[in-house]
Amino acid sequence: MKAIVLDGFGSPEVMHVGQVDAPRPAQGQLLIRVHATSVNRPDLIQRRGQYPPPKGDSEILGLEVAGTVEALGPGAEGFAPGDAVLALIGGGGYAEFAVAHAAHTLRKPESMSFEAAACICETYITAYMNLFRGARLLDGETVLLHGGGGGVNTAALQLCRTLTPASRVLVTASAHKLARVRDLGADLAIDYRGEDFAAAALAFTDGKGVDVILDHLGASYFERNLKALAVGGRLAIIATMGGREATLDIGRLMVKRQTIMGSVLRPRPVEDKAAIIADFERAVMPLFESGRIAPLIHTVLPLEEAAAAHRMMEASEHFGKIVLTLQSNVE
């Protein structure tokens, strides 16, 4: 099959189109003919050699796909060949075929394109898992989302506006993305380069602070995040783009009764991810089916332009998701 392969690790130029053996579905898995996949930040980190796939998963980049079921592995249930689906996978999305656990696969809403469906699993499930299962955001609370126009942030903003409509949502973004963040429903958009987001959050909440923060920077934002967090607030860290080591004032943490949690989705056990996805299917998929929310797509490129897609994400030129499509697989 056609796939994006790596000539070692490094810049986007290590990626090129090659021919590799198509995967075979194992116990409980489906073989999916990929119509579209999307680019996520972990793909870039893996390309640099810093984020290997979990044991047993494909070394090909790509953490989510949308397409049609080609075949069922032993014990796989709930789907049939030809079904239009979307799936969370541990790797292998940048290819004509990918395998996914049946329990990690969802039916594509009929009105949704494969390109849009390829934007759901990695970002929306990450946002839902951290905000609503981990930090347990309640309707009426205040939440601070870091990440401007990134896929997780735009997904999180939509979920907050629909699942907790009375919540107040603050978003940090670069100056040229502030207006678009407001258009998506942010109550306050903060220029993270020109403003102190902690001071802005405290001013917005009359000194109380925010109840929940979703953060992907880690160390570089850690102290200010805790400053911006209210008594009893919860900080959910999903990445460490700003570093892994930070200093913690444990006394202040205790006095303010704050909670710090970290999570990643990809390395979780199969059963753990299945439970998260089942909850997501119940709580969020009806919102896509009804059209109340829809993935925000920045651009759609052919699979052969994967390197250009990675350069675009590295330059933070995107607002929403960058999709790779396999035109030969779309009828």
Tell me the pLDDT of the chain (331 aa) as tens digits: 999 999 999 999 999 999 999 999 999 999 999 999 999 999 999 999 999 999 999 999 999 999 999 999 999 999 999 999 999 999 999 999 999 999 999 999 999 999 999 999 999 999 999 999 999 999 999 999 998 889 999 999 999 999 999 999 999 999 999 999 999 999 999 999 999 999 999 999 999 999 999 999 999 999 999 999 999 999 999 999 899 999 999 999 999 999 999 999 999 999 999 999 999 999 999 999 999 999 999 999 999 999 999 999 999 889 999 999 997 665 5
CATH 3.90.180.10 domain range(s) in the chain: 2-120+266-329
How far is it, in rounded angstroms, from Cα 113 to Cα 93? 17
The full DSSP string for 9-29 is: SSSGGGEEEEE-PPP---TTE
Residue 107: closest CA among 91, 93, 121:
121
98 neighbors 58 (Cβ within 8 angstroms): yes
Phi/psi of residue 173, each to 5°? -160, 165
Q: Classify 23 in phi/psi space as left (phi over 0), alpha (psi -120 to 50) or beta.
A: beta
Q: Just give the CATH number of 126-262.
A: 3.40.50.720
Q: What is the pTM of this model?
A: 0.95
Q: Which two tokens stand for residue 102?
A: 């049946």
How far is it, in rounded angstroms, from Cα 75 to Cα 123? 28
3-state secondary structure of 322: strand
CATH 3.40.50.720 domain range(s) in the chain: 126-262
How far is it, in rounded angstroms, from Cα 204 to Cα 170? 9
88 neighbors 100 (Cβ within 8 angstroms): yes
How far is it, in rounded angstroms, from Cα 7 to Cα 48? 11
Q: Just give the CATH number of 2-120+266-329.
A: 3.90.180.10
Length of the chain: 331
